[in-house]
Structure 1
Amino acid sequence: MQRNFLIAASGLAIVVAGQSAYAQSTGSADVEDSIIVTGARGERAVDGIKTPDTPKAKAVLTQELIARQNPGKAIFDTINIVPGVNFTSTDPYGAGGGNLRIRGFDGARVSATFDGIQVNDSGNYALYTNQQLDSELIEQVNINFGATDVDSPTASAAGGTVNYRTRLPKQDLGATFNYSHGTYDYNRVFGAIDTGEIGPWGTRAFVAASNTRYDQFRGPGEIKKTQYNARIYQPLGNNGDFLSIAGHYNQNRNNFYRRVGVNDMRTLLGTGTIPAAASISAANPLDLSKLSDTQFDTLFGYNNDASCTLGLKGTVTPSNGSTSTCSNYYGTSINPSDTGNIRFNSRFTLASNLIFTVDGSYQYTLANGGGTSVFAESNANAGKNGAYNRQGSRLGAGIATGVDLNGDGDLNDYVRLYFPSNTRTHRLGATASLRWEIDPSQTVRLAYTYDRARHRQTGEAGYLASNGNPLDDFGGIKSDVAAVDAAGNVIQKRDRLSYAILHQVAGEYVGKFFDNALTLQAGVRAPFFKRNLTNNCWTIPGSSNDAYCTSESAAVVSAKFPTYAAPYKGRTVNYNTVLPNAGFVYKFTPEVSVFGNFSQGFSAPRTDNLYAFDGVKIQPTIDVKPERTNSFDLGMRYATGKVQAQLSGWYIGYKNRIISSQVLLDDGSTLNTDRNVGKVKSYGVDASVAFKPVDVLSLYAFGSWISAKLQDNVLDPKTGAVISPTKDKFVAETPKWQVGGRVQFDLERVSLGVQGKYVGKRYLTDVNDVIAPSYTTVDLDARFTIGKIGNGAAWLQLNVINLFDQSYFANLSTQPAASNNPQVEFGAPRTIVGSFNLNF
């Protein structure tokens, strides 16, 4: 599994503590801080909820609200309380991951940044939400619903952005400690130490660490997460200038939950409940809301196997012509990952009206998604009895008829090997920004970004222990556990190297008119993005993840597999564009304003599917173009010390949407790969209001309605025939309606909060022939303050997730149609966690 964190070298959105910067990079934060005056109405919040007065439609949640959620909760789950956003968590605590949707855009089409570092996977742009910063260290998170910042260094943001940032080290010496225990044997420990200001220049720093471990709520398996963080902050004078360096390391060792597909449902529940795929259509959809509680429980109990027994070095004995032994063992359904980064951020005042910012960063990732395959020791038995169907003659390596994998002296066996897809990423980035304040009402800024990611994608096979567990989580990367072919080379499923290189220039203008009542903002960014691809293995038609890696000669492979394409080096693809944006804010009164924004976005094709063809022998009939969006927002805000309210209408025109479908190749064969299918039109309304009528009570309500429909059918590019009838179909996994809110009651020592959300039905397929039902969940949080300790306090906190034990489908694995077997994951049942917190 391709795993990595993109670094786009933008930095912290912080300038100094308490300022109002909500953007992602230091340069964007500096400009935005000049738009929103500290202490103005856009800086006010109602129990952690803000509506910043910017030209873009935004929402901001601060640590005040983040801290009320269960400790360690994924920050992307926390923003589920924002209109237009839907996040479905894999488990109740967040370390298992989840899926994000904003205004119909999935997480791969939303740019997410952590202190300016983009956390989307650099190959397929996926979000891995379980690897983010500990919630105690997040000062705030802000959401741009349909637009990016002018210097957003991303090749994936067809939709909006999610930006969260680390808190500053505290000015006084202190420490924070949290211990949490809950359902499913949840245990989490978090600790942080702040140095306070030390030395003659007021330098301050913090170090923090956490450890999380718990059982899966469904089936066998465990979630384990360890994280370390540190930051040093050096203010430079008293005008907001600073230097900062921060480090982050996260290690996950997780088992996957087993998904249930439509085919599994048919087997478990019978064709009377789940009819044959041929009888399911948009006119006669499979509506999963019609399942009874008993049927739902039957699906819920469909889990991975809790145990596995293998023979010598993974030997399996075919039973009834099958090698399925241990194929569903939970111990190989894993997602190990080691990720880390170092972030440098700075701001310098060169003159009273000239501000220079520089951000730099480095990131590293090693990760895979687990999995096994059964190999036949003999070339002659390759693909038989359910063994790996792409084995070919690679084990013999052109010098033998196979290889003795288990060491018993013959070639008669079938051996199950751990066969993950490893990704190792090194990424460097830097952003420089120069802001010139022409006069107090006129500002211009120029920015340049360079970022370079090196992705090494391999698939080394490793041995399994007799109980089915891998000898190493990363397979055959370590030679002492690697399985080798007859020539002594490690057996691989892929062996490729790619570089993602971005050069981007951006410019921005901000003007204030009519005694600052009107603010105009206009900008443009021009990304020049290149992917450089090297494939050391043979390309298999129809496969973007598995290749034919062999020690055989080119002549042998060409003779045996004439449709395979030869290895290649330095194949490049380029995606360049110019993306303007413009917006305004007009204040009728200090409390009432209107705003509007136009922004263009784009998303380049993803790396993995570029490896599905070589551009010479295996070549699609069309070239995939980047996705493009035109986003419009128009809205009104009202804010006082007691109210934060926002209403916005929006429209997004979306062309060149990319989906994976089957296309006809020039040689007459077919290939499943990415392709453009036309336009999507989406529009909707988002509304929210936070109200604090008295000091002890706050109320928050939000709602969103969306229409997001595909405008074209998927056509065969040669014949024009309809391959998939997607015209006028609703975008998959997108709820039309979302409504929710929160009530919080605060006394001196006791505080109680309740929040809930209704999510409308969602489609699992592009042709809308499978429907996931609507659901409503309610969470509760309660806090009792034991007492004050200096500037801090000690308190107990109780969180109840899914208070009324709602049964529902959470994550959806969407597909073109029901016949492609879309899959579901289950929402967690009622979960209770208690915490002891100490802050001094």
Structure 2
Amino acid sequence: MSNTNPLNAGVSAVRSRPTGSESATGVAPLAKIAVAMALLGISVPVMAQESGSGMEVFETFTAVGQGESRANNSLNLEALDIAMPGATPEKMVDKIPGVNVATSDPFGFYEFANDIRVRAFSIDNLGVTLDGVPVGNSNPRYGSPIGRLVDPANLTTIKVSQGAGDVTTPAYQALGGSLQYFTKDPSREQGAMVSASYGSFDHISLFAKYEIGEFAPGLTGYVSGSHFEFTPKGLEGLGKNMGRRYEAKFKYDAPSEKVDVTYAVTYNDRDDFDTMSMSYSDYTGLEAGNYLGTGTGYIEYTPWTHPGLGTWNYGDFTDRGRNFGPIAYLDQTAGPGEGTNAIYYDKWRNGRMDTLHRFNFDFDLDTGKDLSVVTYYQDKSNYGLWGRGQSYAQTQVRAAYMNDPSRTDIWGQMWYDADGNAISESGDIVDEYGSDHAIVAPGTPVYADGVDFVPGVPGRTARDEDFGGHRYGLSATYTWETENNKLIFGGWYEFDYHGTERPNYNLDGGNILGDFRYDQFNFTNYTRYIDQSVTQLWIQDTYSAMDGKLDIIAGVKALQLDRDANGFLSIGEWLKNEETFRSTKYEDMFLPQFGLLYSLNDSTELFFNYSENMATPTSGTITTAGDTFNPDILKPEYSDNFDIGLRGNFNGGSYTLQAYSISYTDRILASAVPIDDPNAGAAGNSVYQNVGGVDSWGIEASGDIMTGIDGLSFSGSIALQETTFQEDLLDSVVFIGEGDAAPTAAEGYRVAPTSNPLAYEIYEDISDNDLGNTPFLTANFDAIYRKGNFRYTFGGKYYDDVYVNTLNTQPLDSYTVFDGSISYSGKTDTPLEGWKASLNVYNVFDQYFFTAAGYTDEDGSVRADRGRQFTLKMETTF
């Protein structure tokens, strides 16, 4: 018995959507389709194998989910093998039809910049599993992106259900499909493999794996370790992103063949520097040669040549933003506080340490009766650094003492004269806790003539946030299969504890270059401790009719989530020194799924699937700032997903054609806390509300073919997608005086009267606008040519123009990027046997392009591509 998924037939990858703006590229939708069609190829089956449904199935570059009533595709070993060395598992799924991945670096390493979308949904709304273990959610703060939990070199298959995972997928935030990652089983033969890669951006990847072999009857195992590093944008010679991962997997197959048990463990340790983006308005200024009114475009901006631009805008744009990043300290003589010291790369850093243990038990109970049990435990330990100005820290310290003058947790103290008067740094009497009331270091004497002011907040400060926790869970699925019927039922339970503490400290000497002074605490943004328990139950039945030609699949799942939070959930609570306890509960006992699978002949099948999905609000919603939290108002999100398609095999290839419709309702929007609120500026302090829905439809086609030229194969795909908002978004309410004229709205907004003649609602006029970073059209193709011991690959992707704001006034141009590789495998019975060398090139033609970094209401943000990348890889097995 095996935990991995068998591969099916062949196909490649793509994505979609119209922006409604032809001004971005000057290309009409029909012309875009023609351009993309020119990119399409069809790929090559490598070997035939048996399918459980009786259909002939090919193992190809990618694979169609034969025997599934849903759109379903997989990446096989060869597709993973030719991926860019160092690419994360998240980056690899870009080859699947209906999937699009935008990253800030060629590897997809910086998690906060990864935008992974499957049809209408981001990865936060997908069910993601590793060998059947749910990741929980993929949020970089509260969850575990899959790249932390598995080394790409240990993967054997990535399976994507674009429309919906089946009812047995353990997930509480899955509105769309599922991503399932499967690792290789240990070999019965002893051996080892080592690989090393070196390339652009100081990229180094090292991987080593030892196959223990069958070291006891039925017991096999392997251990592996890897190291990865590269220089992120703007930090050449200063810092590197690094990842280290250690894995082990052991499997026991009982002699009776009635049970197998698998244990696997992953330890992950990674550090990265925040990658900066630029606002869309800054980007258009650079493109026009007039950045922030300077009259120049892509140059390096410094405070000496362009003073007064603001502390966030200094940086290197000379290469069209490809090296723009969190700049180093610019002028150590400028003083310890603000200005040019505002951004320093070493205080924009993140670290993640994870350990995941998992057991898989597969029992063959009797003929047609099987039981699968998965249990797991994960420990998470993370940190995040970020700099803060002196004045911000002083404001919080003063406000904390004003709320509770007796508190003793703050290092700095308010300064008074001998008569108890609040005084300034120069000894003048001022308003107590006002902006001039001085904060002094402990032990500073009461003010008198000749007493020096010793600052309690001497300059720049920074926060060192610690967060993490643990989670554990168990899922079990029982399958009972008879001649014409297959019944599946089971359930999943998970408990997840997540704690977050974000204290702010002085830096040594008040200098941005200084180390953290952990003995000089200023304030805390929050301390959040969240307990969460999830229960999911499911049942599904498949009935075969018409002599096995028609499968009718019906299932239902029930989902319940309980979440509690306590602590200082916002800085407002810390200022008052009053902790909060909150509790929420979300449930739906009837989430149905229905599917049909009809075999037209031995090589062609039709499929249809409908599913209703619920996503519970994220963990962050329970920490909503201030009095805006109301558990009875915020509702879960829902989606209705329809899939219909045709797929099959032919002599030398395979294909799929599928269409879908998605209705997404009760969308939850996170709004920033107002700038004058004490919670402003601290990540995680947001207000959440249900704001309407999104409609999406699309068509996806893909295929693989072996050409008449020996050793040459193609794969390709094309996807069209339209994703639009269903209704306008309430922005604000404006009150006017008696006799005043009604307010007017800016471009992209509209004014609506209310029942109160003196009140007007301002709406974002977004109904029928396109969702951000969702292209109407995408197309992929890959060609593989094998000649002797050489393999040549070449591929490309077309990505349509998109908007980076919900008002649809900020378009980004379309682009096409190409990749290629050459590899040589040593001949058998020669000294080079077991050796392999490959050269991979990303962005072969060094195409300049920008991707969406964030799509906000009015002014979104963008990131430049990194440019052409070369990577040389050497590997050997022995």
Same fold (TM over 0.5): yes
Aligned to 1:382: 395
- Partner secondary structure for residue 196 of structure 1: strand
**Structure 2: distance between partners of 1:267 and 1:411:** 41
Aligned to 2:360: 345
Aligned to 1:590: 602
1:549 paired with 2:556, answer no
1:795 paired with 2:836, answer yes
* TM, length-normalised to structure 1: 0.81
Aligned to 2:568: 536
Cα 1:745–1:456 change in 2 (3 A) is: same
- Partner secondary structure for residue 65 of structure 1: helix
1:568 paired with 2:580, answer yes
1:830 paired with 2:868, answer yes
**Structure 2: distance between partners of 1:641 and 1:48:** 17
Deviations 1:57-79 (A, max 9, x none): 01100111101112231122222
Which of these residues, 760, 767, 772, is aligned with residue 732 of structure 1?
Answer: 772
**Structure 1: distance between partners of 2:508 and 2:456:** 20
Report the residue type matching 2:842 in the other structure.
I
Contact 1:42–1:50 at 8 Å: present in 2 too?
no
Which of these residues, 668, 692, 715, is aligned with residue 700 of structure 1?
Answer: 715
**Structure 2: distance between partners of 1:569 and 1:310:** 45
Structure 1 residue 693: deviation in Å?
A: 2.8
Contact 1:253–1:336 at 8 Å: present in 2 too?
yes
Deviations 1:534-589 (A, max 9, x none): 1335x4xxxxxx55425xxx5xx6xxxxxxxx422253333434211111211111
- Partner secondary structure for residue 153 of structure 2: helix
Which of these residues, 86, 97, 101, is aligned with residue 87 of structure 1?
Answer: 101
Which of these residues, 513, 517, 521, is aligned with residue 545 of structure 2?
Answer: 513
Report the residue type matching 1:829 in the other structure.
G
Contact 1:493–1:548 at 8 Å: present in 2 too?
no
**Structure 1: distance between partners of 2:464 and 2:847:** 35
Which of these residues, 530, 543, 546, is aligned with residue 498 of structure 1?
Answer: 530
Aligned to 1:147: 164
**Structure 2: distance between partners of 1:620 and 1:90:** 36
Contact 2:803–2:812 at 8 Å: present in 1 too?
yes
**Structure 2: distance between partners of 1:470 and 1:587:** 69
Cα 1:442–1:237 change in 2 (3 A) is: farther
- Give 1 or 2 for the bigger CA radius of gyration: 2
- Partner secondary structure for residue 787 of structure 1: coil
RMSD: 3.5
1:599 paired with 2:607, answer no
Contact 1:242–1:347 at 8 Å: present in 2 too?
yes
Structure 1 residue 413: deviation in Å?
A: 4.6
1:15 paired with 2:3, answer yes
- Partner secondary structure for residue 419 of structure 1: strand
Structure 1 residue 39: deviation in Å?
A: 8.7
Aligned to 2:499: 456
Structure 1 residue 227: deviation in Å?
A: 0.5
**Structure 1: distance between partners of 2:7 and 2:631:** 53
Aligned to 1:561: none
Report the residue type matching 1:257 in the other structure.
T
Report the residue type matching 2:225 in the other structure.
A
Contact 1:529–1:576 at 8 Å: present in 2 too?
no
Report the residue type matching 1:580 in the other structure.
P
1:446 paired with 2:482, answer no
Contact 2:401–2:407 at 8 Å: present in 1 too?
no
Aligned to 1:303: 325
Structure 1 residue 406: deviation in Å?
A: 12
Cα 1:225–1:412 change in 2 (3 A) is: closer
User: What aligned pairs does 1:658-677 form with structure 2 within 5 A after superposition?
Assistant: 658-661=668-671, 673-677=687-691
Contact 1:663–1:716 at 8 Å: present in 2 too?
no
Contact 2:9–2:60 at 8 Å: present in 1 too?
no
Cα 1:793–1:548 change in 2 (3 A) is: same
**Structure 2: distance between partners of 1:17 and 1:800:** 30
**Structure 2: distance between partners of 1:500 and 1:483:** 33
* TM, length-normalised to structure 2: 0.78
1:608 paired with 2:620, answer yes
1:776 paired with 2:794, answer no
Deviations 1:119-147 (A, max 9, x none): 32469777746424221100100111110
Aligned to 1:367: 382
**Structure 2: distance between partners of 1:599 and 1:105:** 15
Cα 1:122–1:236 change in 2 (3 A) is: farther
- Partner secondary structure for residue 136 of structure 1: helix
- Partner secondary structure for residue 249 of structure 1: strand
User: What aligned pairs does 1:585-664 form with structure 2 within 5 A after superposition?
Assistant: 585-613=597-625, 617-619=627-629, 623-640=633-650, 642-661=652-671
1:432 paired with 2:476, answer yes
Report the residue type matching 2:466 in the other structure.
N
Cα 1:446–1:21 change in 2 (3 A) is: farther
Of structures 1 and 2, the one scoring higher in RCO (CA 8 A, sep 6+) is 2
Cα 1:175–1:463 change in 2 (3 A) is: farther
Contact 1:700–1:743 at 8 Å: present in 2 too?
yes
Cα 1:424–1:57 change in 2 (3 A) is: same
Task: Structure 1 unaligned segments of length 5 or more: list them.
Answer: 1-12, 23-35, 277-293, 486-490, 540-545, 558-565
Cα 1:403–1:465 change in 2 (3 A) is: closer
Contact 2:855–2:861 at 8 Å: present in 1 too?
yes
Aligned to 1:163: 180
1:197 paired with 2:206, answer no
1:242 paired with 2:283, answer no
- Partner secondary structure for residue 484 of structure 1: strand
Which of these residues, 816, 821, 832, is aligned with residue 857 of structure 2?
Answer: 816
Contact 1:81–1:757 at 8 Å: present in 2 too?
no
Say which is worse superposed, 237-246 or 118-127, in terms of deviation.
Answer: 118-127
Report the residue type matching 2:499 in the other structure.
R
Contact 1:123–1:608 at 8 Å: present in 2 too?
no
Report the residue type matching 1:500 in the other structure.
Q
Report the residue type matching 2:395 in the other structure.
A
Structure 1 residue 397: deviation in Å?
A: 6.0
**Structure 1: distance between partners of 2:122 and 2:498:** 23
Structure 1 residue 193: deviation in Å?
A: 0.5
- Partner secondary structure for residue 221 of structure 2: strand
Contact 2:9–2:58 at 8 Å: present in 1 too?
no
Task: Structure 2 unaligned segments of length 5 or more: list them.
Answer: 11-49, 295-315, 415-438, 445-451, 734-753, 755-759
**Structure 2: distance between partners of 1:299 and 1:16:** 42
Contact 2:9–2:62 at 8 Å: present in 1 too?
no
Report the residue type matching 1:589 in the other structure.
N
Aligned to 2:429: none
Structure 1 residue 188: deviation in Å?
A: 1.3
Contact 1:434–1:446 at 8 Å: present in 2 too?
yes
Share of identical aligned residues, percent?
Answer: 21
Deviations 1:482-509 (A, max 9, x none): 5335xxxxx4221111112101111011
Contact 2:155–2:181 at 8 Å: present in 1 too?
yes
Aligned to 2:110: 96
Deviations 1:21-64 (A, max 9, x none): 99xxxxxxxxxxxxx94495475222354443311101100111
1:682 paired with 2:696, answer yes
**Structure 2: distance between partners of 1:117 and 1:389:** 48
**Structure 1: distance between partners of 2:459 and 2:775:** 45
**Structure 1: distance between partners of 2:829 and 2:608:** 46
- Partner secondary structure for residue 461 of structure 1: strand
**Structure 1: distance between partners of 2:255 and 2:552:** 31
1:404 paired with 2:447, answer no
Cα 1:748–1:271 change in 2 (3 A) is: closer
**Structure 1: distance between partners of 2:800 and 2:142:** 26
Cα 1:836–1:521 change in 2 (3 A) is: same
Contact 2:772–2:806 at 8 Å: present in 1 too?
yes
**Structure 2: distance between partners of 1:104 and 1:17:** 26
Contact 2:503–2:521 at 8 Å: present in 1 too?
no
Aligned to 2:243: 225
Contact 1:461–1:482 at 8 Å: present in 2 too?
no
